Every structure is written in structure tokens, then in C-alpha cells.
């Protein structure tokens, strides 16, 4: 039987450690005999997500389920420019 685990927040907000643990628990539940549909409902994820996790597991076992660095927009300012803005705002009197 799947342990009751209801997502209290969006999975995109989970830390890498929490996301990895969620994936491993989901795959382990399916391996223990639960249907992917039941696991998806209990964990609060889509059916496609659990099937994607199972495919990752088949390709690379447990390490494949580890969360990877998320992409994102590169910063517009480098550290030198950020420092200049900070100093200008905090050190100067208007």
C-alpha cells in the first residue's frame, strides 16, 4: 500500500533533496505493486510524471532520479555591476 503523501505545495518549489526523495518514493511504490495511476493520485502528480520517473529509472537506476540543476534566465548584471548598484544606492545620500 502506498504511504499517504499529499503534495502541500507545487513540486517546482521543492528543494533538490525533496524532489529526489519524492521521485524515489514514487518509483518504489510502483515497484512494490501499486499502479502508477494510484501513485500519481496519492502523490498529487500527473500520471505522465510518474511514467517519466519510471522511464528515468529504467535508463539509469536510482541515480537517474536525482534532481538536476534547473535552467533559468542568465543574470543581466555581473557581480561587479551588482556591487556598484548596491554601493551607489546604500552609500550615497540623495
Domains and CATH numbers, the chain: 11-91 (1.10.10)
Q: What is the pLDDT along the chain (94 residues), one digit of tens a residue?
A: 444 455 555 777 778 888 889 889 989 999 999 999 999 898 888 899 899 899 999 888 888 887 777 778 888 999 999 999 999 898 877 6
Could you tell me if 36 and 30 are in contact, meaning their C-beta atoms sit under 8 angstroms apart? yes
Q: What is the pTM of this model?
A: 0.60
Residue with cell 502523490: 43
CA distance 82 to 76: 10
10: DSSP letter:
-
Amino acid at each position: 500500500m502506498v504511504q499517504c503523501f499529499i503534495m502541500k505545495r507545487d513540486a517546482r518549489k521543492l528543494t533538490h533533496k525533496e524532489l529526489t526523495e519524492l521521485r524515489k518514493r514514487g518509483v518504489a511504490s510502483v515497484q512494490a505493486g501499486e499502479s502508477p495511476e494510484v501513485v500519481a493520485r496519492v502523490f498529487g502528480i500527473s500520471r505522465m510524471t510518474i511514467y517519466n520517473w519510471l522511464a528515468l529509472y529504467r535508463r539509469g537506476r536510482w541515480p537517474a532520479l536525482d534532481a538536476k540543476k534547473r535552467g533559468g534566465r542568465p543574470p543581466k548584471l555581473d557581480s561587479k555591476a551588482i556591487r556598484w548598484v548596491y554601493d551607489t544606492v546604500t552609500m550615497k545620500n540623495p
